[in-house]
Amino acid sequence: MHIADCIEGCFQLMGGDFTNAGRASGDLKSMLAKLGVSQDVIRRASIAAFEAEMNVIIHAVAGTMHYTVNNEEVKIILTDMGPGIESIERAMQEGYSTAPDWVREMGWGAGMGLPNIKRNSDNLKIDSVVGEGTTLEIILYIRKEKTC
């Protein structure tokens, strides 16, 4: 695989827009497949992106998902105008969630989102300010392949 230039894209996300949830991550998945990125990276990137996309839809008013792909890495940055995370440490604990009941009835809000994102990324940075919003930077390294 060889990517000539840096490929990038950006999606707008609306809080509460469950109907279109997964569109941004699905597009990212198709883009990575088109670029010939390995199946393992595609699988992990789309899971991490989708969980992060859901977090914006569940918790925030609005946000964006921006991605860049080059020969070294896939970088996905989610920025939202949301409530912010009071304790990142607690939010990273499996089973901890602040999602409302109606979201839980849909099968979300099991407290697995951020742990799933962490497990599937090579590097995860979280910046959050309560009352302002949250930024997630998800990085996956693309394994070097023999042929270009």
Partner 1 sequence: MLKVSDIAGRLGLDIRVGGDLHTEVKGCYISDLLSDVMANAGDGDLWITLQTHPNIVAVAVIKGLSGIIITNGRSPEPDTVRKAESENVTILTTVMTTFDTAGLLYNMIK
Binding site for partner 1 (CB under 8 A): 18-19, 21-23, 25-26, 29, 43, 46-47, 50-51, 54, 106-108, 110, 112-113, 116, 119
The single residue listed with the structure tokens 């996905």 is 76
Quote the least distance from Cβ 21 to partner 1, whole Å. Answer: 5
Whose Cβ is closer to partner 1: residue 23's or residue 66's? 23
**What is the DSSP-derived secondary structure letter of residue 16?**
T
Quote the least distance from Cβ 19 to partner 1, whole Å. Answer: 6
**Residue 123 to residue 92: CA distance in whole angstroms:** 14
Cα of 102 vs its chain's centroid, Å: 22
CB atoms within 10 A of CB 101: 7
Give the 3-state secondary structure of residue 54.
helix
Quote the least distance from Cβ 43 to partner 1, whole Å. Answer: 7
Q: What are residue 136's DSSP bridge partners?
A: 78, 126
Quote the least distance from Cβ 4 to partner 1, whole Å. Answer: 27
